[in-house]
Amino acid sequence: MRRIAFSLAAPVGAFVLTVIISTIALWIFGSDPFEAYGDMLGHARKLETQVDILNRATPFYLSAVAAAIGFRMNLFNIGVEGQYLIAFLVAAQVGGLISLPTVLHILIIMIVAMITGALYAGIAGVLKTTRGVNEVVSTIMLNAIAVGGLIAWLQREWQAPLPEQFSSSDLGTNPIDDSGLMPTINGLLEIFTREVGQGKELTGMLLIAVLVGIGYHVLLNRTRFGFDLRASGINPFAARAGGVPPKRMVVAAMMLSGAVAGLIGVVELADRGKFPPDPIQGLGFAGIAVALLGRNHPGGMVFSALLFAFLDVSSGVLDTTGVASREIATIMQGIVLLTAVVAYGVASRVKERDEARTAAEALAADASASTETVGASA
Amino acid sequence: MAPAIELEGITKRFPGVVANDNVNLVVERGEIHAICGENGAGKSTLMKILYGMQAPDEGTMRVNGEAVSFSSPIDAIDKGIGMVHQHFMLADQLTVLENVILGAEPTHGGGRINFTEAEDHLRSVADDYGLKIDVHEMVETLEVGERQRVEIIKVLYRGAEILILDEPTAVLVPQEVEALFENMRELRANGATILFIDHKLDEVLEIADSITVLRHGKTVASLPNEGVTAHELAELMVGSELPTPATAESTVTDTVALAIRDLTVHDDGRAALEGVSLSIHKGEILGIAGVEGNGQGELVDAIIGTGDIRNGSIELHGENITRWDVRARREAGIGYVPEDRHHEGLLLTSPLWENAALGHQTEAPYGSRWFIDRAGARKQTEAIREAFDVRTPNIDVSAHALSGGNQQKLIIGRELTANPSLLVAAHPTRGIDVGAQAAVWDQMRQARADGLATLLISADLDELIGLSDTIVVMLRGRLVARLSPDDVTPRDLGAYMTGAALQDMTSDGSAA
C-alpha cells in the first residue's frame, strides 16, 4: 500500500505542478488556458488523433528504451540520434536492393538496422573501454559525424537512378518493395473501434515496440545480463568485485542500446518506404527526455511516450485552431520533465528515510519484545 | 572558572535511531578528556554537534560558560573549538606552511599572500605549544604521525584552544601513538583543552585526565582517571561480558589452498607489491599486519582479480589463476569481504536478496547461465538472514536501511554460504558493534574449522593476533616478517609494521 502511494506521489505531483505552471504560461502569453486544454483534449478524443499519437509514441518509446538501457548502467548514450539515422539509411539501402518474400524481407531489414545501430553505438563503447573516452563526448561527436558527414555522403552515393525529368519525390534511396515494409495494423485496431478515417494508418511497428518493452523488462529483471547491468549502474565497484566484467558490460550495453535505436529507423522506413532526402530528426533526443520522465521503467516509459506524443500532436492542433501558439506544447514537455525530475528526487529521498525508519522500528519492536520475554522468565 | 565545555541533555535523532539521548558532558579547562564507546554509541555524532556540523534536536551547549548554538564549524572555530578529523584533509603537493594557512591566509592586501607573516604566526603557535615541524617540508614526504601534527597545528593556527581529536590513534602504530601523547601533554601544559575519541582503553588510561563513556547514545559514566581499570571501562562500554577473538586449537592442514609466488603488482604505474610469496593452507587463517597503504590493498586486488599483476603467479588448489578474470575466480571458490562494504560490497539501493546474489549470480541457487532465479535467491537470502542473524524486517528492504553491523553480517553470510575454498577478508569487523563483531568472529572460526583457507587483513591488532594461525607483516609492498600469534604482542607487531624491527625473509615467505 505504502509502496504504491510512494510510486504514485511523484508523477501525480509532477502532473499537477505542470498544469499549474502551463496555465500561468498560457495566461501570460494572452491565450485562454482552458480553451487551449479543451482543444487539445477534445481532439485527443478523436480516433484519428489517437492513431497519430500512437504513431508518434512508437518511435518515442523505442528511443526511450534505447536510452534507458544505457542509463540503467550510468552510461549516457546521447547518440541514439545518429545511430537510428545511420541504421535507417543502411537498412533502406539494403532493403531496396533485395527482394524477398514479405516476412523474410522485413526481418532482414530489421536485423540490418539493428546491427548497424549496434555497430555505430559500439564505436563509443570501444572508445570508452580502450581509450577512456567519455561516452557523452564520443556519442555527440558520432552524431555530428553521422548527420553532417556519413549520411550526406552516403545519400549521394546511394541515390536511386534518376529519370531524365525528375521531381524531389524521386530523391532518396531505392524505394523498398511492399514486401519489405512493415504493414499497417488498422485492421487490428478496427476490431475494437470504428473505421479509421482521413487516411490515417496505424504503424505495425507499434507491436514491435510492445515486444521491445516486454523484452526490456524481462532482460532487466529476470536475466543475469540485466542483473549485471543494473549492478554496474548502481555501484560499478561492487559489480566488478562481484565478477561483472566492466569493459565487456560497457560495450554490450552500448551495442544493445544502439540495436534498439536501429529499430526507430525501421519505424520511419515503414512510413516513408525509402530513405528520403528529409528524414525526421530529433527522435533520439526526445527519447532521452521520455526515458527520464518514465524513470527508465518499461511501464513508466509507455506513459511518458504517450504524453510526449500527445503534446507533440496537440501542437499541430493548436496551430490549426489558433487558440494558442504551437510552441506551448514544447514548453509543456520541458516543464513536465523538470517537475518530474524534482518530484522524483524528493519522493526517493522521502522513501529512503521512510524505509530506514520502518526497518529500525520493526527491529526495535522486535528487540523490546524479546527483552520483555527475558524479563518475564527471569 | 567555568568549564571549557558543558553539554546538557543533548539529544539528536536520525530517521530510525536516536544517536544521542540526553547526553551530558563536562570538560574542564586544561584537561585531556576521553570519550569512549563502541562503534555506534554516538561519539562521532556528539563531536559533530560540538563542532557545529550538526545541530542537536534538544539540549544546551556552553563554551567557557557562555551558551552557544552553532550553525556551522565556522561558528565553532570562532569560539575557539578546532577539530582534527580521523582522515586527514591535507594537500600532498603543498608545503606544511601552505597547508596550514589554506583558507586562512594573511594577505598584504590586494590578495597577495603574506608568507612572512604566516610563517611567523605558525612558528609562534608551534613554539607556544611545543610542537616541532619543518614548515617548508612537502606534506607528501611526511610520515602519518607528522601529518597528524600538521592537522593539529592547523587548528591551533586558527586560534583554537579546545581541540577535538577524532580517533587520533586509529591510523598510528604504537610508536607514533607515544609521540602523539607526548604532544598532547605539551598542549595541555600550555593551556589547551583536548577532547578525544578512542576505544583503545589502555591508551585512554594512559593519557586521559577524565573519561566519559557512551553506550547506545547515552552517557553511562563520567569519571576521573583514578583507579579505574581497562576491564571496568570495557564493561561500561559494552554493558555485558566481553567477547574475545581468540581461536581454539589449530585446524591447519597440509593441503595448500592458495600459493602466491614472487608476485609483483603495480598501482598507478609504480610497484605497490614486490616479489611477495606466501601460501595459505586449508583450515588456516593467515593474518596480514601492516600500516594501511603498504600493499595490502594490492594483494587483495591481485587475488580477487582486479590487480595489475606484472610478475609472479597465483595458484588456487594447484591451478594457475594468475590471468583469470574476477568471475572465473569467484566461481572457482574465492569469497571476498571487501574493506569498505559501501564501496565494493553492496548495492545500497537494491533489496537485500539482490545484494545476497551479488558475486554469486552465476551459480545456483541465485542464477544460471542466462537467468536470475528470483525464488532461489530469495530463499537463500532468508537462509542467510536466519543463520547469520541479519536483523531486518524483511529481505525486500534496501541495503542502506540496515545498520553497518547487519550489512556486514549479510556480506559475511553471502560469502560463507557460497561454500568458498578461499576467503579474502579485509577488515571484516571494521565499524561494527561488539555483538556483530563476535558473530563475525564466530562465523570465521567455524568456517576455518570446516577447512576454509582465509586471508585476513585487519588494522585491529588484537583481532589479527586472536584469529590468525600465522601472521605476516607487510611494509612498503614487501613481506618483512612472519610471526606466530602465540608469542607476539601488538607492540612487537607495531615495531615490524614501522620497520623498526627487521627479520630476514627467504623467498618462500618463511622466516629464516
- Render pLDDT for A40-86 as a digit per residue (tens, 0 to 9): 898 888 999 999 999 999 999 999 999 999 999 999 999 999 999 99
The DSSP letter of residue B361 is T
Query: How far apart, in Å, are the Cα atoms of B41 and each of B158, B163, B210, B214, B428?
Result: 30, 21, 18, 6, 19
The answer to whether residues B211 and B305 belong to one domain is: no
Tell me what pLDDT residue A347 has.
Answer: 85
Q: Do the Cβ atoms of A357 and B327 come within 8 Å?
A: no
The DSSP letter of residue B351 is B
Are the beta carbons of B67 and B25 closer than 8 angstroms? no
Which residues in chain A have their CB less than 8 angstroms from residue B330's CB?
Answer: 242-243
Residue of B nearest to A352 (CA): B401
Q: Which residues of B410-428 are buried (b: 16+ CB within 10 A; e: fewer)?
A: bbbbbbbbbebbbbbbbbb
Task: Select from B339, B344, B359 the least CA-distant residue to B297.
Answer: B339
Is there a domain that residue B104 lies in? Answer: yes
Where do we find the cell 529519370? A163
Is there a domain that residue A301 lies in? Answer: no
Query: Cα-atom radius of gyration of chain B, to the nearest Å?
Result: 25
Is there a domain that residue B12 lies in? Answer: yes
Please, is B190 exposed, middle or buried when counting C-beta atoms within 10 Å of its C-beta (0-12, 13-18, 19+)?
A: middle
The answer to whether residues B178 and B132 belong to one domain is: yes
C-alpha to C-alpha distance for A122 and A115, rounded to whole angstroms: 10
Greater pLDDT, B421 or A361: B421
Tell me what pLDDT residue B507 has.
Answer: 43
Is there a domain that residue B293 lies in? Answer: yes
Q: How many domains does the structure of chain A reveal?
A: 1
Is there a domain that residue A138 lies in? Answer: yes
The answer to whether residues B9 and B136 belong to one domain is: yes
Helices A2-28 and A33-44, axial angle in degrees (round to 10)? 120
The answer to whether residues B91 and B189 belong to one domain is: yes
The answer to whether residues B181 and B259 belong to one domain is: no
Is there a domain that residue A27 lies in? Answer: no
How do beta strands B193-197 and B162-165 pair? parallel
The answer to whether residues B357 and B282 belong to one domain is: no
Identify the domain boundary among B193, B216, B238. B238
Joined grid coordinates for residue A223: 536475466
A/B interface, count of CB pairs below 8 Å: 114
Greater pLDDT, B350 or A319: B350
Q: Average per-residue pLDDT in chain A?
A: 88
Is there a domain that residue A51 lies in? Answer: no
Q: Do the Cβ atoms of A223 and B370 come within 8 Å?
A: yes
C-alpha to C-alpha distance for A310 and A57, rounded to whole angstroms: 8
**Alpha-carbon gap: B463 to the closest alpha carbon of chain A (Å):** 25
Q: Do the Cβ atoms of A224 and B357 come within 8 Å?
A: no
Where do we find the cell 506513459? A303
The DSSP letter of residue A46 is S
Return the sign of the alpha-carbon dihedral for residues B211, B215, B219, B220.
Answer: negative
**How many residues are recorded in chain B?**
512
**Under-50 pLDDT residues of chain B:** 506-512
ipTM of the complex: 0.84
Which residues in chain B have their CB less than 8 angstroms from residue A363's CB?
Answer: 391-393
The answer to whether residues B372 and B306 belong to one domain is: no
The answer to whether residues B285 and B195 belong to one domain is: no
Q: Do the Cβ atoms of B393 and A353 come within 8 Å?
A: no
Tell me what pLDDT residue A373 has.
Answer: 40
A6, A72, A221, A235: best to mutate for the B interface, most B CBs within 10 A: A235
Query: How far apart, in Å, are the Cα atoms of A207 and each of A59, A219, A308, B286?
Result: 12, 18, 19, 60
**Bridge partners (DSSP) listed for residue B193:** B162
Which residues in chain A have their CB less than 8 angstroms from residue B397's CB?
Answer: 355, 358-359
Joined grid coordinates for residue A153: 555522403
Tell me what pLDDT residue A365 has.
Answer: 64
- CA torsion A333-A334-A336-A340 (nearest 10°) is 140
How do beta strands B32-36 and B193-197 pair? parallel
Tell me what pLDDT residue B479 has.
Answer: 93
B13, B358, B366, B410: best to mutate for the A interface, most A CBs within 10 A: B358
Identify the domain boundary among B419, B452, B475. B419
Q: Do the Cβ atoms of B344 and A237 come within 8 Å?
A: yes
Are the beta carbons of B130 and B189 closer than 8 angstroms? yes
| B252 vs A: CB within 8 A | no
Domain range for B368 is: 342-419
Tell me what pLDDT residue B506 has.
Answer: 45
Q: Provide the 10 A C-beta neighbour count for residue B59.
A: 16
Q: Average per-residue pLDDT in chain B?
A: 87
Residue of B nearest to A365 (CA): B393
- CA torsion B32-B38-B39-B45 (nearest 10°) is -50
pLDDT in tens, A214-245: 999 999 999 999 999 999 999 999 999 999 99
A119-122: long-range pairs with CB below 8 Å, 24+: A119/A255, A119/A258, A120/A79, A120/A82, A120/A83, A120/A86, A120/A87, A120/A146, A120/A258, A121/A77, A121/A79, A121/A83, A121/A254, A121/A255, A121/A257, A121/A258, A121/A259, A121/A261, A122/A251, A122/A254, A122/A255, A122/A258
Q: Is B432 helix (H, G, I), strand (E, B) or coil?
A: coil
* Chain A residues with CB within 8 Å of chain B CB: 221-228, 230-231, 234-235, 237-245, 352-363, 366
**Bridge partners (DSSP) listed for residue B470:** B286
Residue of A nearest to B324 (CA): A243
Q: Is the peptide bond before B15 cis (omega within 30 degrees of 0)?
A: no
The answer to whether residues B262 and B179 belong to one domain is: no
| H or E element at residue A92 | helix A80-97
Tell me what pLDDT residue B16 has.
Answer: 54
The answer to whether residues B140 and B24 belong to one domain is: yes
Tell me what pLDDT residue B504 has.
Answer: 55
| H or E element at residue A336 | helix A327-377
C-alpha to C-alpha distance for A52 and A55, rounded to whole angstroms: 5
Q: Which of B330, B343, B393 sits opposite A363 (nearest CB)?
A: B393
The DSSP letter of residue A270 is H
Residue of B nearest to A350 (CA): B15
Is there a domain that residue B306 lies in? Answer: yes
Q: Which residues of A35-71 are buried (b: 16+ CB within 10 A; e: fewer)?
A: ebbebbeebeeebebbbbbbbbbbbbbbbbbbbbbbb
Are the beta carbons of B129 and B154 closer than 8 angstroms? no
| B327 vs A: CB within 8 A | yes
CATH number of the domain within which B306 lies: 3.40.50.300
Residue of A nearest to B331 (CA): A243
Q: How many domains does the structure of chain B reveal?
A: 3
Are the beta carbons of B35 and B212 closer than 8 angstroms? yes
Where do we find the cell 576521553? B34
Angle ∠(A139,A211,A270) on CA atoms, nearest 5? 70
A146-149: long-range pairs with CB below 8 Å, 24+: A146/A81, A146/A82, A146/A83, A146/A85, A146/A86, A146/A120, A147/A81, A147/A82, A147/A85, A147/A281
Tell me what pLDDT residue A216 has.
Answer: 97
Tell me what pLDDT residue B242 has.
Answer: 54
Is there a domain that residue A19 lies in? Answer: no
Greater pLDDT, B433 or A325: A325
Domain range for A284 is: 59-296
Q: Do the Cβ atoms of A227 and B357 come within 8 Å?
A: yes
The answer to whether residues B16 and B137 belong to one domain is: yes
Task: Select from A369, A366, A370 the least CA-distant residue to B391.
Answer: A366
**Alpha-carbon gap: B422 to the closest alpha carbon of chain A (Å):** 15
Identify the domain boundary among B183, B209, B238. B238
C-alpha to C-alpha distance for B324 and B315, rounded to whole angstroms: 11
Is there a domain that residue B369 lies in? Answer: yes
C-alpha to C-alpha distance for A71 and A295, rounded to whole angstroms: 10
Are the beta carbons of B479 and B296 closer than 8 angstroms? no
Is there a domain that residue B380 lies in? Answer: yes
| B398 vs A: CB within 8 A | yes
The answer to whether residues B371 and B381 belong to one domain is: yes
Is there a domain that residue A179 lies in? Answer: yes
Q: Do the Cβ atoms of A222 and B374 come within 8 Å?
A: yes
Are the beta carbons of B475 and B497 closer than 8 angstroms? yes
pLDDT in tens, B407-450: 999 999 999 999 999 999 999 987 777 778 888 898 999 999 99
> Counting runs of H as helices and runs of E as strands, what totals does chain A give?
15, 0
A12-19: long-range pairs with CB below 8 Å, 24+: A13/A339, A13/A343, A13/A347, A14/A336, A14/A339, A14/A340, A14/A342, A14/A343, A14/A344, A15/A336, A17/A339, A17/A343, A18/A332, A18/A335, A18/A336, A18/A339
